[in-house]
Structure 1
Amino acid sequence: MATENRNVQIVVADPTPLGLLGLSIVTLVAASQKLGITSGVSFVIPWAIFLGAIAQLFACVYDFKHNNIFGATVFGAFGLFWLGVAASWMIKAGVLGEVLAKSVDPKQLGFAFLGFFIFSVIGTIAAAEANFVLFLDMVFIDLLLLGLALDTLGIGGHWAHGMAAYAELIVSMISFYLCGATFLNKFFGRVFWPVGKPLGIWKKAPAPAGH
């Protein structure tokens, strides 16, 4: 009896606009607190969890299905980043008990920011060969994370906090544009909002024959 093998492809829509929306909203709300427009983090935490974390983790999973290593890795990393940040705020506020709150050492969070800064620089190198606007977004994410790391580690004075605050606001605005561009360009099937060409600094190897 002959057997027949079939490959079934499940069509999944591009999750990038959802992930970028999550990044846009959480950085907008968090920047308002850093800039002193709002105060406290009580109402930043829900957006950190549901938009910064969950929306980007959804995008991560479906970018893996798209075989998009950049989107899957970056959305996944920053989705988990916002979960970690939200949990850190909750620990500091005493939500998880007074013992944890009293033993908080902010420098540990500073080293986490430093680690994400290193990862973000790696992502920026890759983004340079995607499109200009994405590269620009990653550059300001680098500045945000560097500012957070220096500020939390107590290095550089108040300027590091200011750099982080304004960089985060710019990240939000650029991410809103990227979200809209990706959504509208896919929806209309043409360049509705331009995102620019790759910078051409580092060339990707050509795909193997037959791929």
Structure 2
Amino acid sequence: MNDIYKITDQTANPGPLGLFGFAMTTILLNIHNTGFFPVNSMIMGMGIFFGGGAQFIAGVMEWKKGNDFGSIAFMSYGAFWLTLVFIWLAPMFGVEKPDGNAMGCYLGMWGLFTLVNFLQTLKGNTTGKLLFGSLTLLFFLLAAGNFTGSEQIIHVAGWTGIICGFIAFYEASAIMINKKYEKNILPL
């Protein structure tokens, strides 16, 4: 085939956008889970617009690039943030607030989904393994904390989530910095 008919993909890598959306929102929510401040409009705003919206957009961009894993992960975790904020806000409109068992089931399902994603990272870089491994642990700890009502488990989950968020922040930073400098400055 003649080269003049080939289309070259010149779109940006959406990975850092999705990773930063995940990272920053996860860190802030888990600072709450460690007990430093209550859920507030800052966390909800981040959850809707950066954790939810930006990740979902990054997922659509990954889909356009043909990246199944990135597409499903970013769109799903973007939807996670949107559903979580809805769960927090829905009682203001007369929808019953979920109890610990319901939240445990919700978070446990996200843990199971994340475990499937973690298994896929075993063929990838170390940072991806650490990110999805810590995220799997985070969801299962949050589920256990909600099922048992244990604030101690929730606090441990919070510290796990902060670490997980910083791993994602590092990965997003590494992708951008390594590309800009055209060499491996921050290893993945």
Fold match by TM threshold 0.5: yes
Q: What is the percentage of aligned positions where both structures have the same residue?
A: 24
Runs of 5+ in structure 2 lacking a partner?
A: none
Query: Which structure has the larger Rg over C-alpha atoms?
Result: 1
Name the counterpart of 2:187.
194
Separation (CA, whole Å) in 1 of partners of 2:39 and 2:115? 29
Check whether the contact 2:142–2:153 (CA below 8 A) recurs between aligned residues: yes
Amino acid at match of 2:16: P
Alignment deviations for residues 12-58 of structure 1 (CA, whole Å, 9 cap, x no partner):
11101111110111012101211122223332100011111111111
Q: List structure 1 runs of 4+ shifted beyond 3 angstroms.
A: 5-10, 103-106
Q: Which has the higher contact order (CA 8 A, sep 6+)?
A: 2
Name the counterpart of 2:105.
111
Runs of 5+ in structure 1 lacking a partner?
A: 196-211
Q: Measure how far apart 1:9 and its partner are.
A: 4.1
Amino acid at match of 1:100: V
Name the counterpart of 1:128.
122
Alignment deviations for residues 110-145 of structure 1 (CA, whole Å, 9 cap, x no partner):
212111111111111111211001100111101110
Q: Measure how far apart 1:67 and its partner are.
A: 1.2
Alignment deviations for residues 36-87 of structure 1 (CA, whole Å, 9 cap, x no partner):
2222333210001111111111110111112111111111110000101010
Pairs aligned (count): 185
Name the counterpart of 1:100.
95
TM-score, length basis structure 2: 0.91
Q: Give the superposed CA RMSD.
A: 1.8
Name the counterpart of 2:172.
179
Separation (CA, whole Å) in 1 of partners of 2:184 and 2:9? 26
Amino acid at match of 2:160: A
Separation (CA, whole Å) in 2 of partners of 1:125 and 1:74? 13
Instruction: Give SS of 2:70's match.
Output: helix
Residue 158 (structure 1) aligned with residue 154 (structure 2)? no
Separation (CA, whole Å) in 2 of partners of 1:127 and 1:10? 25
TM-score, length basis structure 1: 0.81
